[in-house]
Structure 1
Amino acid sequence: MQQNKWPVSIMLETRIDDGEDQEVIKVEASGDWIASSERTVLFFNEESDDGVVKTMITVKDDQVTIKRSGSVKMTQHFDMKKNTENVYRHAYGTMHVETKTDKIHFEPLDEKGRGYLQLDYDATINQEQTRTHQLRLQIEEESK
């Protein structure tokens, strides 16, 4: 299996809507893009008030997995074929999250060195509050 690796810069924007309020979270970071014939993996770190969060996003077929470690710990699966569950751990406690994925749109790095990932999903926290999420991830090869 041949594997290619590129340094990239990313712009991650997440919109969270609970019906009454909307929250927008933006992250800019540098990382690495690793692609093979079977999967694509993106690694990057983000600084938060509570410390560094290491993020790994894996894209394979109609599935995306986001794994975070450090001051936040979670592994969240997005699968168009089924609802998924995970546990989100951070300095303020633990939350159980159920995810229903509505859309996965992935564009690998093109000839201009740009890629894109879009996830639209509903997340229910602790079986109580359901919020609509839109994740948009723009990737650009740093050497382009």
Structure 2
Amino acid sequence: MTTKGAEVFLQLTTEIQTEGEAAQRIEFATSGKYYLKEETHYYIYSESELSGMEGGKTTLKVKDDVVTMHRYGVNIVELVFATGEIRESVYETPYGVFDVEMRTIDLTAAIDEGGAGHIEISYEIEVKGLSKTLNHLKIKVS
């Protein structure tokens, strides 16, 4: 089954905890496009100033128990989330290229064939040599 470009509304909440600092919470809502192709859910939306990536685009790919996030624009990165797995990636920014290591602690996704549902991901991300944070991402799609 293939769904072509259905309009969806995404509500994203991210909590970021850096050791020794107060947790930071970012909330962001936007419209986007939803596609279903070969049992894989795709969401495409534009980033905003709130996310720190204004002008960029994000594609979320959800299949089974794996979520892949592609961010394009000023910053470019691909993050793959799968519970219990450690993945490495490269984060390209205007300030340079950084090696990133990410460990997915927990991931749940419940999405219907129309694209509505929710995704929750808890993960640690380390920008090697710079910082390590504990993150919790919630995405509600309607």
Whether TM-score is above 0.5 comes out as yes
Question: Structure 2: which 5+ residue stretches go unaligned?
Answer: none
TM-score, normalised relative to structure 2? 0.86
- Aligned pairs for 1:18-97 (under 5 A) are 18-21=18-21, 22-48=23-49, 51-97=54-100
Q: Indicate the SS of the match to 2:56.
A: strand
**What is the aligned counterpart of 1:136 among 135, 138, 141?**
138
Q: Does 1:3 align with 2:6?
A: no
Q: Displacement of 1:55 after TM fit?
A: 0.3
Residues 50 and 91, structure 1, Cα contact 8 Å, conserved in 2? no
CA RMSD of aligned residues (A): 2.0
Distance 1:13 1:51 in 2: 16
| Deviating more after overlay: 16-25 vs 124-133 | 124-133
Question: Structure 1 residue 14: deviation in Å?
Answer: 0.9
* Unaligned stretches of 5+ residues in structure 1: none
Question: What TM-score results when the alignment is normalised by the length of structure 1?
Answer: 0.85
Post-superposition CA distance 1:82-139 (Å, at most 9, x none)? 210111122233322101101111011378x731010001111114532110000111
The amino acid across from 2:19 in the alignment is G
Aligned to 2:108: 105
Cα distance in 2 for partners of 1:47, 1:76 equals: 19
Tell me the matched-pair count: 138
**Alpha-carbon deviation of 1:67?**
0.1
Work out the CA distance in 1 between the residues paired with 2:97 and 2:27.
23
Q: Is the 8 A contact 1:123 1:130 kept in 2?
A: yes
The Cα offsets for residues 37-90 of structure 1, whole Å up to 9 and x where unpaired, read as 421111001133764110000011111100000111001111225210111122
Larger deviation, residues 118-127 vs 86-95? 86-95
